[in-house]
Structure 1
Amino acid sequence: MRRIDIVANIASGSVGPDAPEIAERLIAEHGVSGKVHAPQPAELVDRLRAVIDSGPDAILVLAGDGTARAAAELAGPDGPLIAPLPGGTMNMLPRALYGERTWQEAMSACLETGEPRMISGGEVGGRLFFVAAILGSPALWATAREAAREGRLDLAAARARRALRRAFTGRLRFVLDGRPKQKAEALTLMCPLVSTALDAEERALEAAALDPSSALDIFRLGFNAARGQWREDPSVSVGRCRTGRVWAGGRIPAILDGEPARFDPQVSIRFRPKAFRALVPPE
C-alpha cells in the first residue's frame, strides 16, 4: 500500500493523548507512508469524510463504536480499506474483526499482514450496522448508559426510569421476508460477522424476536443468556431475514453497533452483502 491515513479521537475510551505519537512510530517502524489526524470530537465525521475523499489505500480509525461504524458506512464497498481499531469502551466492531487485541497490536497486525476482506452488514432506515442492531424499548437503556458514561448521573437516572416505564408498553410489529406479521418487545438483528448461528458468508441476518411478558421472563432470559443459551429461551423466536418492515405506535428506539439511535414509527430493514472492505490480518 502506498498511503495509509490514521484518524484518532484522543478523547475516546482507551485512546489517550499520546496515541498520535505512538501511531506515527508504528507506521515508521513498518516502513509505511502515512499521516495521523487527531481532530476534535466535533470534527471527527467531517475529517473522516475528507480523508476518505482524498483516496488513501487504507484508513485506520482509532475511536469509539460510533466513529468506527461511521467510517465503514462512509467508505462503503468501493472506498478505501477501513481498519476500525479498538479505541472505545465496547469496541463491538473491532472485537469482531481483531479479537481481544489492543489497538497497538491490531494496528501492527494490519500493517504487517493485513489484507482486504469484504464485510456484510445490515441496514435500518438507511443507516448501516455491521455487528448487531436492537430495536424496541430495551434500547432505551443505551441512552442511560451514555449519560452515565459522561458523568451525568441525574440524567442517567431519569433515562433509566423512562426505560423502565416504557417496558412492556410499546411492542413492535414486524414482517420479515414476507412471513406473517409478528409482535415482540424487541427485535435483535445480528450480522454474519458475529452470529454463531450463521456462516460468515451467509447472505442473511439472524433475527431474534424477544418477547418477555413479565419480570420473571426477563430474569430467566438474562440467566439463559449468561449461559449462552438465550436462543433456547421460550420468550425468544429466532430466524433469518434479508428484508423486513418494523412499525410501532411512536418513534422506535434502537442501538446500532453499541450506539443509540431513534427511527420513525415505520422503518425498513435489509441485509447488505457488501457493506465495506476491512483491513484485517489473515484468519
Structure 2
Amino acid sequence: MADSFDVHAHPVIDTHCHLDFDDFAPERDQVIGRARDAGLARMVTICTRVRKFDRIRAVAEAYDDVFCSVGTHPGNAGEEPDVTTAEIVELARHPKCVAIGEAGLDFFYPDNAPRDVQLAVFRANIDASRQTGLPLVIHSRAADEDMAATLEEETGKGPFPFILHCFSAGQELANVGVRLGGYISFSGIVTFPKSEELRAIAKTVPHDRLLVETDAPYLAPPPKRGKRNEPSYVVHTARVLGETIGLSEPKIRDLTTENAYRLFTRMPRAA
C-alpha cells in the first residue's frame, strides 16, 4: 500500500476531459469539487466541434481552474467540413483557451466522415496550432500509418506543439510522436489488465513527454471501472503510470504536472 501524502502538495492535472457533456450537467459543481479534493490543480475541457465552442467556453469561464480548447474532432468533421484555420485562430484568442483540438484521424468507425474530409479538417487545426503556438490535441484511432505520415509532412512545413491524447496506438506512432517533439498522454486504458503492451510502450516514452488524462466521461480506470469517468479519477491513472515507469505516486504527479505546464504555456500555474 502506498504511503500517504498530502495530495495538495503534489497536485495533478487532467489534461483532457469533456465537462461540457450532458453527463455532467446535473452535478458539474460537485464533479469539480471532487477533483479539487483529490488534488487536481487544473482541468482542460476539450472541444469536439468548433461551432459549439460557446458551451465549452462557458464551462471554462465558470471555474477558475478549468481551461479549454477549440477544434473539430475527426468523428465530427463531417458536421463542419468547411471549418477554417482563421475561424479556429480567432476563437483561440480567448484567454482561457490553452489548446487547439481535439482533431485528428479516426478510421475505426465506418460512419465517420470520409478520410479526405477528416484530413482536411485536421490540417486546418494543425495550421491553427502552428499560427497560435497552442498545443494541438490529437485524436488518432486505427490510423497509425496515416497519422505518422501526416505528422512527418506537417512538421516539415514548420513545427507545432502537440499531444497524442488517450494514447492506445502502437510503438511506431509513439516513436514518431516523440521524435517530432510531441507529448504522449495516457488515459484509464493504461490501467486496464489487458493493456500490457500499452504499459510497455509507456516505459519507452521520455519522462519529460508524459501526461495523464481521463477523457471523462469515458474510460474510467479501476477501481472505478464501469462508472462514468470524472476528472478526480485521473489520480488512479497517474498511480498506475507511476508504478509502470518506477515512480512513486507523488513523483508521477509532480512530473506530469510540470510537463503539462511546460506544454500548455497559456495556462497559469495554480497559486
Please indicate the TM-score interval, normalised by the length of the shorter structure.
Answer: under 0.3
Greater fraction of residues in helix: 2
The structure whose Rg is larger is 1
Give the TM-score normalised by structure 1: 0.25
